[in-house]
Amino acid sequence: MIDITHDISVIARRCLTRRRPAPSPLPQMLASLTVGAVLTLAGCASAPRPSATPMRVQSAITTEQAQDIAIHALGLVGTPYRYGGNTTEGGFDCSGLIGYVYRTRVGVTPPRTVAQLSGFGRAVNEGELRSGDLVLFGGTRPTHAGIYVGEGRFVHAPSSGGDVRLDRLDGPYWSRQRYEARRI
């Protein structure tokens, strides 16, 4: 007669004493990285919670000063354009016009280049534009700027051979240009 009990116990001992290779940590690491990546991307992709009330942009200058800026800018319409210019006698380029008006009316000296103006003050939504705000054209790296004077109009020094002038944001040329507004 065959002793099955003995054979089973020998097989069991062999199985229990046989060395198995340690499981690879790679699948567990990949699973952890995948879960981490999914959670990170989900956090980046989630939409911001809507605000119950729109944020109002505070200003370092008063409403009266902002209106004074607009009136002074309007008074400079017709002044010749000059690259690098920042005086009434010598003419203005767009950032020189902005610097001159802000410096003489409210004692604020904005940066000298349009690229630097894009980081000056605070961003303003189109619906909240007020007189005295800056309008900068050209997208992520603006190349032109002016002073908003109300009713969809702005004063700027457009180009060589031209004069400081008043234009409309919804005009044929400017309505096709991407712009941002800044408030000091």
- Per residue in 15-41, pLDDT tens? 444 454 555 555 554 445 444 443 333
Given the candidates 3.30.420.40, 3.40.50.720, 3.90.1720.10, 3.40.50.300, the CATH classification of the domain at 63-183 is 3.90.1720.10
Say if strands 179-183 and 144-150 run parallel, antiparallel, or are unpaired. Answer: unpaired
Is 6 one of the catalytic residues? no
Mean pLDDT computed over every residue of the chain: 80
- Whole-number Å distance between alpha carbons of 99 and 5: 100
Is 44 one of the catalytic residues? no
Question: Which residue in 6, 15, 72, 94 is the catalytic one?
Answer: 94
- Percent of residues, the chain, with pLDDT higher than 90: 64
- Span 39-49, average pLDDT: 36
**pTM confidence score:** 0.69
Q: Which tops the pLDDT comparison, 128 or 26? A: 128
Cβ 159 vs Cβ 81: under 8 Å: yes
